[in-house]
Amino acid sequence: MLEQTVQIVSNEPDPTDLYFRLVMSAPRIAPLVQPGQFVHLRIQSIKDALLRRPFSIFQVSGDTVSILYKNVGKGTDALSRMRPAQDLSLIGPLGHGFTVPPPGGESPLLVAGGYGMAALYLLAQRSPQKGIVFVGGRRRVDILCQDEFQSLGWEVRATTEDGSHGGKGLVTQPLLAELRSGTAGRKLFACGPTPMLRAVGRIAEEFNLPAELSMDEHMCCGVGVCLTCVIPVKTGADWEYQRTCTEGPVFDSTRIAWDANS
Ligand SMILES: Cc1cc2nc3c(=O)[nH]c(=O)nc-3n(C[C@H](O)[C@H](O)[C@H](O)COP(=O)(O)OP(=O)(O)OC[C@H]3O[C@@H](n4cnc5c(N)ncnc54)[C@H](O)[C@@H]3O)c2cc1C
Ligand code: FES
């Protein structure tokens, strides 16, 4: 993990101005990145600039690191107005990422909701085994990198809640249909909203499949100090809080104690 002042190479919006792709020149961080890890960005122009914002590392190419972000609030809005050649303070790569499937290992099924596709792209790129990516979102604009996953040799099955792209419904519906046709030698990897991750965890349990889930909780320090980001994790018959920024964000689904606080 390193702190580096990096320079913006490009910061391009999609046609709706909702999602942006930010490419940064980060020569010391780029070679260290593992799929599913994240960076913590300081956005100087906002009042609470001391509070960094976490983003999954979307792509790595040579010396550059990219993120794919949704403009949802004051930090991401300020970020969306930054221009090439401006500087950003970056800490990364952070966290415990996905296990890249070994050659000849389980066939991967990726499940992504919204910007969760960003966290799964590097895994898709580095996996020697290509499989199926199930991508879901509310509307067509939320289906982000279908072409990029297809260019890597993955089959993409898209769903939108309003039916404006792909099948109509939730991303777990085509996943269930696929698993009913056979489960041997498969493994699930997922990133997206918590209800989606919980549903994927239940499906993994029902079909007795291994699954890794990226738990994106709200974070402050990003480096294991403040305990803002904890989730309940099983430890034998009991459970304890663990930090998603350091022990995660990726956890084996069988370890998450979903009902610990209820
Ligand atoms: C490990 C990790 C990886 C992430 N990767 C990405 C990514 O690849 N692309 C992306 O667009 N976003 C990602 N996020 C979410 C991103 O960090 C937040 O959207 C961002 O911090 C919001 O900052 P803001 O100042 O614009 O919003 P704020 O003004 O602080 O908040 C605006 C809204 O965003 C919500 N929000 C804030 N933080 C989060 C969060 N962690 N998860 C969900 N909602 C949040 C707030 O509840 C509020 O409703 C990730 C979060 C984590 C923890
Ligand atoms: S964000 Fe501070 S401990 Fe995880």
- State pLDDT tens for residues 156-188: 999 999 999 999 999 999 999 999 998 788 999
Domains along the sequence of the chain with CATH: 2-94 (2.40.30.10), 107-214 (3.40.50.80)
The share of the chain scoring above pLDDT 90, in percent, equals 86
Nearest to 185 by CA among 108, 110, 244: 108
* pLDDT tops 70 at residue 137: yes
Which pLDDT score is estimated for 94?
97
Ligand sitting nearest the alpha carbon of 220: 2
Q: Measured in angstroms, how far is the CA atom of residue 213 from the centroid of ligand 1? A: 17
Ligand sitting nearest the alpha carbon of 145: 1
* pLDDT tops 70 at residue 49: no
Q: Measured in angstroms, how far is the CA atom of residue 94 from the centroid of ligand 2? A: 11
> Token pair of 159, please?
């769903």
Nearest-CA residue for ligand 1 atom 21 is 53
C-alpha distances in Å from residue 2, one per residue of 38, 40, 52: 12, 10, 14
Q: Find the mean pLDDT for residues 208-222.
A: 95
The binding-site residues of ligand 1, defined as CB within 6 angstroms of any ligand atom, are: 38, 53-56, 67-70, 72-76, 115, 118, 216-219, 249
* pLDDT tops 70 at residue 151: yes
Q: Find the mean pLDDT for residues 104-129.
A: 94
Nearest to 152 by CA among 94, 110, 104, 99: 110
Alpha-carbon gap, residue 24 to 158, rounded angstroms = 29
Nearest to 67 by CA among 22, 3, 28: 22
Nearest to 144 by CA among 91, 191, 93, 77: 191
Ligand sitting nearest the alpha carbon of 216: 1
Ligand sitting nearest the alpha carbon of 39: 1
- Counting ligand 2 atoms within 8 A of each CB, the residue from 223, 231, 251 with the most, and so the one to mutate, is 223
Element (H, E) at 202: helix 194-206
Q: Find the mean pLDDT for residues 192-221.
A: 96
Q: Find the mean pLDDT for residues 69-98.
A: 95
Each residue of 121-142: b (16+ CB within 10 Å) or e?
Answer: bbbbbebebebbbbbbbeeebb
* pLDDT tops 80 at residue 117: yes
Q: End-to-end alpha-carbon separation of the chain, Å?
A: 35
- Counting ligand 2 atoms within 8 A of each CB, the residue from 228, 241, 242 with the most, and so the one to mutate, is 228
* pLDDT tops 80 at residue 26: yes
> Token pair of 43, please?
């956005």
Q: Measured in angstroms, how far is the CA atom of residue 194 from the centroid of ligand 2? A: 18
Chain CA centroid to CA 189, Å = 10
Q: Find the mean pLDDT for residues 88-95.
A: 95
* pLDDT tops 90 at residue 105: no
Average pLDDT of the chain, as a whole number: 94
Nearest-CA residue for ligand 1 atom 1 is 216
- Counting ligand 2 atoms within 8 A of each CB, the residue from 51, 221, 242 with the most, and so the one to mutate, is 221
- Given pLDDT bands bounded at 50, 70 and 90, which one contains residue 262? low
Cis bond upstream, residue 193 (ω within 30)? no
Residues 248, 253, 257, 262: what is their CA dihedral angle, to the nearest 10 degrees?
A: 110
Q: Which residues contact 219 (CB under 8 A, 6 or more apart)?
A: 40, 54, 228, 229, 244, 245
